[in-house]
Amino acid sequence: MTDTAADPRRLVPRTDAVLADPRLAAAAQRLGRNLVKRAVVAAQKRARRGEIPPDAVAGTALDALPATATGLRPVLNATGVLLHTNLGRAPLSAAAREALALAAGTCDVELDLTTGGRGRRGAAAIDALLAAVPGAGAAHLVNNGAAALALVAGTLAVGREIVVSRGELVEIGDSFRIPDLLTAAGARLREVGTTNRVHPGDYADAITDETAFVLKVHPSNFTITGFTRAVGLPELAALGVPVVADIGSGLLQPHPLLPGEPDAATALAQGATLVTASGDKLLGGPQAGLLLGSPGVGADLVQRIRRHPLARAMRVDKLTLAAFEATLRGPSPPTRVALDADAAGLRVRAEALAARLASAGVEAEAVDSASTVGGGGAPGVVLPSAAVALPERFAAALRRGEPAVLGHLENGRCLLDLRALPPEADDTIADAVLAAHRGL
């Protein structure tokens, strides 16, 4: 009896021999040698335990490798929530993705190619933002909406008071609270009014020499109805102190489907000195924090804020600058396309997709559904939509598929809402459902 027959583990190929397999060598070029080596070692262990034959080590390692070097997986958003925070909120436009690829290499992010000297960082992105909001006198970008508000407070209100309505001291996702942010920046809060009602006189009575500014916060993820009263920006602007409007969702101009959602252009026109917002919500771009100042005083404050030492810590990188500019200058981003989608057209798509699936033996039906904006924007606004209804058991199988498809459960069914998906995704959805059907 040979040693090999006595111990089959001796047939397990050496690590260097497996790594020399052309398929794994190519994968190492794409994913990195360390990641590929870990997959090979894991496959070798399985062979030694007798779970796979020794000659299957290379193939098993190859099958275990991810498609990319990141742990993130693509997900088709069929939830009916346009800006799904767990899915990264706004998907970027093709123009923004192309800009990301350009900026991923070396680029003139801070270089004037004409003179050879240092250029103004992010100048093109700022110019694009000012072009999108002509009423602004100056603008600045930071890494998210919370950072924009924190930088304003840290520059203007350290050791001073911010006057704010009690009904606007909101908490958003992951237990993040506006009052905690402001006090952490060194400001003191002067709360006025009650949870449901505040009057102009409440603000006027609270303003003293210690007042840094009045803050107007859009309660973007809830609504209060009934016996309520709020004070608008024109009335606040008449108080004689700077007014900061945190509009949250990043809507730059009014939208007919969202009459209750504040936008940057209107806020400035109504007297806001500074406006803060997010870039990855209704604006449809990458994660960023927008700071816009009114002409005159607001513009001067923006320049003061951008020179604050913490502005460096909150600076956006070249990828964000590129994607943000392309979002504004390029065609309508996917979020805007989804928001403007025609409900009748969505129904036609759902019926065609359901018929295609039913012809393959899948229990599928086109149904009317209701979409929402999500991402802390337009609370209470319902967007008529259409979906393909499947048995509930499809939900888990679709999440585990490649690509993953995320729907939502309703009345014992898995609904695949089409509003947040472009028409060209319908074939991919059909393939994913059919693959799940075969595995159930």
Kindly state the tokens that stand for 7: 């111990």
Helix (H) or strand (E) holding 409: strand 408-410
Q: Locate 412 and state its tokens.
A: 């014992």
| Distance in Å from the first CA to the final CA of the chain | 47
**Is 38 a domain residue?**
yes
218 shares its domain with 319: yes
Total domains in the fold of the chain: 3
In this structure, the answer to whether residues 138 and 287 fall within a common structural domain is yes
Indicate whether 167 belongs to any domain: yes
Query: How much is the pLDDT for 176?
Result: 78
Q: What amino acid occupies position 157? A: A
Q: Are 12 and 47 in contact (CB under 8 A)?
A: yes
Q: Is residue 310 part of a domain?
A: yes
Tokens of 284: 């449809």
Angle at 208 between CA 203 and CA 211, to 5 degrees: 80
Q: What is the DSSP annotation of 337-385?
A: HHHT--HHHHHHHHHHHHHHHHHTT---EEEEEEEEEETTBSTT--EEE
pTM comes to: 0.91
Query: Does residue 315 sit within a domain?
Result: yes
CA–CA separation, 333 vs 82, rounded Å? 12
CATH number of the domain that 402 lies in? 3.90.1150.180
165 within domain boundaries? yes
Residue ranges with strand state E in 283-338: 289-293
Domain range for 46 is 3-64
- Asked if residue 70 is part of any domain, the answer here is no
pLDDT tens digits for 379-389? 888 999 999 99
Amino acid identity, residue 20?
Answer: A
Q: What pLDDT does residue 169 have?
A: 87
Pick out the chain residues at pLDDT < 50: 1-2
217 and 355 share one domain: no
Q: Quick one: 417 and 314 in the same domain?
A: no
pLDDT tens for each residue of 329-338: 999 999 999 9
Instruction: Tell me the average pLDDT of the chain.
Output: 93
Q: Are both 325 and 373 inside the same structural domain?
A: no
The neighbouring-strand residues paired with 246 are 217, 276
**Do residues 418 and 346 touch, judged by C-beta distance below 8 A?**
yes
Q: Is 130 within 8 Å of 158 (Cβ atoms)?
A: no
Residues 280 and 164 in one domain: yes
> Does 135 lie in the same domain as 80?
no
DSSP notation for 221-245:
T----SS-B---HHHHHTTSS-EEE
pLDDT at 1: 44
The total of other beta-carbon atoms located within 10 Å of residue 353's CB is 22
DSSP 244: E
Kindly report the CATH number assigned to the domain that includes residue 173. 3.40.640.10
Q: Look at residue 224 and tell me if it is in a domain.
A: yes
H/E segment holding residue 371: strand 365-374
Of 331, 358, 383, which closes a domain?
A: 331
In terms of domains, do 325 and 347 share one? no
d(C-alpha 264, C-alpha 235), whole Å: 17
Helix axes 57-64, 33-48, angle to 10 degrees: 130
Residues 428 and 319 in one domain: no
Among residues 235, 228, 219, 215, the alpha carbon closest in space to that of 275 is found at 215
